[in-house]
């Protein structure tokens, strides 16, 4: 099933209000970008 079909089946309609599914822009870099951001946030504090 598609992601949208799974959401429609498993998530209450009231919780889906305003929900947007967006295509990821970071691709395979997402994990590295997230780790770098987390490290930066911990460093800055």
Summarize pLDDT for 1-45 with one digit per residue, the tens: 799 999 999 999 999 999 999 888 888 889 999 999 999 999 887
Is pTM beyond 0.85 here? Answer: no
Domain residues for 9?
3-44
| Start-to-end Cα distance in the chain | 42
Helices and strands (H and E) in the chain: how many: 3, 0
| Residue 24 in tokens | 């990821």
pLDDT of residue 41: 94
For the chain, what is the radius of gyration of the CA atoms?
16
Number of structural domains the chain divides into? 1
Instruction: Count the residues in the chain.
Output: 45
Instruction: Provide the b/e sequence for 2-37 (b: ≥16 CB within 10 Å).
Output: eeeeeeeeeeeeeeeeeeeeeeeeeeeeeeeeeeee
């Amino acid at each position: 099933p598609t992601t949208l079909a799974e959401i429609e089946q498993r998530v209450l309609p009231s919780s889906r209000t305003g929900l947007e599914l967006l295509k990821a822009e970071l691709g395979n870099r997402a994990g590295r970008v997230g780790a770098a951001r987390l490290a930066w946030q911990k460093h800055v504090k």
